[in-house]
Amino acid sequence: MADNPPPAAPKGIHKRGAISKRRSRRSKRDAPLPAAEPRATGGRSDDVSSSPAHTTRPVEAGALASGPRASGRRRRGGRGRPRAPESPPIAAPQREDAPRPAPSALPHPATPYTGHTQAYAAIDLGTNNCRLLIARPSGDSFVVVDAFSRVVRLGEGLAQTGRLSDAAMDRALVALRVCGDKLRRRNVHLARSVATEACRRATNGPDFIARVKAETGIALDIISAREEARLAVLGCHILLEPGPGPALVFDIGGGSTELVLIENVVDGAVPVILDWVSIPYGVVSLTESCAAEVDSPIARATRYAEMRALVANAFAAFADRIAPVRVAQVAEHGALRLLGTSGTVTTLASVHLDLPHYDRSAVDGCIVPAESMRGICTNLATLSLAGRREVACIGRERADLVVAGCAILESILDLWPAARLGVADRGIREGILRSLIGIHPPRPAMGET
């Protein structure tokens, strides 16, 4: 993240739901991963606050590393950018009837507790990235005290072999050792660590999980696509624009994309999932499912049309199921609400804002016109690879993947044609933290609405 205040946003851009931070870092972008076999999973009716049994681990208290003092000051917005009122923090109550896993301490040398507020941690090992977030409770929210993100390309070669390669596992283990060191130094009291699509698909995924536990002490859960969708919603739904009726939240990943239809959110309450779907097309799996890019305008147009068709077909059953909800919402309330969390939407929002480089403070919580995002998608799809590399906030890291992300986003806008798109640079890790800490939204004072 840049240290300077974000630039002024174009008219109509809003920001919602800022989280107080002690430290924040610029998110690293996705690296290529293999294609996934076509499939789609989904279902109906799920309370996002209810979590299946999972492993949570108390961690021996460790000495705090030195660092900047925590600050609860509100981040200063860019000049001229209108902001929506601050939303209350997301609620993540712990159900009394939920199964409570037996705690097991990490095999770290015990360090006497120093009296500091205990910290909580979330690790998300994805197909592209290994990400860590450590936070401490602060009133009705939490303060981030440490974060880590590294491209590990765990899914490299998975489509061809069905297995995680030795090189990919070694890269992930290096990153996870860094995470383990941070857990020890930051007085982490409770942590949840999850692995997603690459480990779900790999035949040696369970063996890799066992190796991670033996070598780092980190107990990774291979979560289902349903749980992945639930955590993403829990982590970012606070950024939804206020309004009546159901809303759609989506997460475009590297190997899969999740769409979640949620009920109306009131006063930051935890939403109920009405329907959801996960398809095996993310920015890299979709890229590798199509022919290699050819430097020809006609070839690029043909390839983009192929991507759009693959995604539309994968979304078809879900689109049919939610069509009556969409029609009723427009008839009764006249507007649809849409929120996206992913590298694709944050990158395209950066292009819309004309940022010289990625700035999370400007992007997270902004609300942009959907037609602007469509226009950016169309433009990027026509550019050559070299041309896309010259676009600020895309560069070499995302130039070969962003077209697939555009194809997925346009397909989402087809099935849920909202006029505005909310953008979130937060998701699974924040959802895990809110679940662990058990954050509840403040109730309005008497007479307040």
Q: Helix/strand/coil (H, E, C) string of the chain?
A: CCCCCCCCCCCCCCCCCCCCECCCCCCCCCCCCCCCCCCCEEEEEEECCCCCCCCCEECCCCCCCCCCCCCCCCCCCCCCCCCCCCCCCCCCCCCCCCCCCCCCCCCCCCCCCCCCCCEEEEEEECCCEEEEEEEEEECCEEEEEEEEEEECCCCCCHHHHCCCCHHHHHHHHHHHHHHHHHHHHCCEEEEEEEECHHHHHCCCHHHHHHHHHHHHCCCEEECCHHHHHHHHHHHHHHHCCCCCCCEEEEEECCCCEEEEEECCCCCCCCCEEEEEEEECCCHHHHHHHCCCCCCCHHHHHHHHHHHHHHHHHHHHHHHHHHHHHHHHHHHHHCCCCEEEEEHHHHHHHHHHCCCCCCCHHHHCCCEEEHHHHHHHHHHHHHCCHHHHHCCCCCHHHHCCCHHHHHHHHHHHHHHCCCCEEEEECCCHHHHHHHHHHCCCCCCCCCCCC
pLDDT of residue 342: 87
Residue 293 falls within a domain, yes or no?
Answer: yes
The winner for highest mean pLDDT among 72-81, 135-144, 227-236 is 227-236
Shared domain check, 260 and 204: no
Shared domain check, 267 and 216: no
Residue 47 falls within a domain, yes or no?
Answer: yes
Shared domain check, 255 and 403: yes
Give the residues across from 195 on adjacent strands: 125, 222
> Pick from 207, 227, 247: which residue ends a domain?
227
Shared domain check, 393 and 313: yes
Q: 336-375 pLDDT, tens per residue?
A: 999 999 889 999 999 999 999 999 999 999 999 999 999 9
Average pLDDT over residues 79-108: 34
Q: Which residue has the higher pLDDT, 215 or 162?
A: 215
Residue 34 falls within a domain, yes or no?
Answer: no
Shared domain check, 330 and 393: yes
Shared domain check, 266 and 124: no
Residue 437 falls within a domain, yes or no?
Answer: no
With a cut of 60, say whether residue 213 has pLDDT above it: yes
Residue 441 falls within a domain, yes or no?
Answer: no
pLDDT of residue 4: 44
pLDDT of residue 48: 57
Confidence band of 268 (pLDDT split at 50, 70, 90)? low
**CATH assignment of the domain containing 249:** 3.30.420.150
Confidence band of 101 (pLDDT split at 50, 70, 90)? very low
- For tokens 């999850």, name the residue: 194
Q: Of 320, 395, 386, which Cα lies nearest the Cα of 351?
A: 395
Residue 408 falls within a domain, yes or no?
Answer: yes
pLDDT of residue 66: 28
Q: 37-78 pLDDT, tens per residue?
A: 456 777 755 555 444 333 344 443 222 222 333 333 333 333
pLDDT of residue 203: 95
Residue 140 falls within a domain, yes or no?
Answer: yes
CB 60, CB 110: distance < 8 Å: yes
Shared domain check, 290 and 151: no
**CATH assignment of the domain containing 120:** 3.30.420.40
Q: Nearest 5°: phi and psi at 423?
A: -120, 130
Shared domain check, 260 and 278: yes
Shared domain check, 314 and 274: yes
Q: What's the pTM value of the predicted model, to 2 decimals?
A: 0.74
Shared domain check, 60 and 204: yes
Shared domain check, 346 and 264: yes
pLDDT of residue 419: 97
Q: Which residue has the higher pLDDT, 104 or 190?
A: 190
With a cut of 60, say whether residue 98 has pLDDT above it: no
Q: 154-183 pLDDT, tens per residue?
A: 887 787 788 999 999 999 999 999 999 999
Q: 276-288 pLDDT, tens per residue?
A: 999 989 888 898 8
> Pick from 174, 209, 227: which residue ends a domain?
227
State the average pLDDT for the chain.
78
Report the number of distinct structural domains present in the chain. 2
Residue 393 falls within a domain, yes or no?
Answer: yes
pLDDT of residue 397: 77
Q: Which residue has the higher pLDDT, 104 or 193?
A: 193
CB atoms near residue 443 (< 10 Å): 9
Provide the domain limits for residue 280.
236-428
Lowest mean pLDDT among 13-22, 88-97, 179-188, 268-277: 88-97
With a cut of 50, say whether residue 377 has pLDDT above it: yes
% of the chain at pLDDT higher than 90: 54
> Pick from 203, 227, 251: which residue ends a domain?
227
Confidence band of 118 (pLDDT split at 50, 70, 90)? confident
Shared domain check, 375 and 244: yes
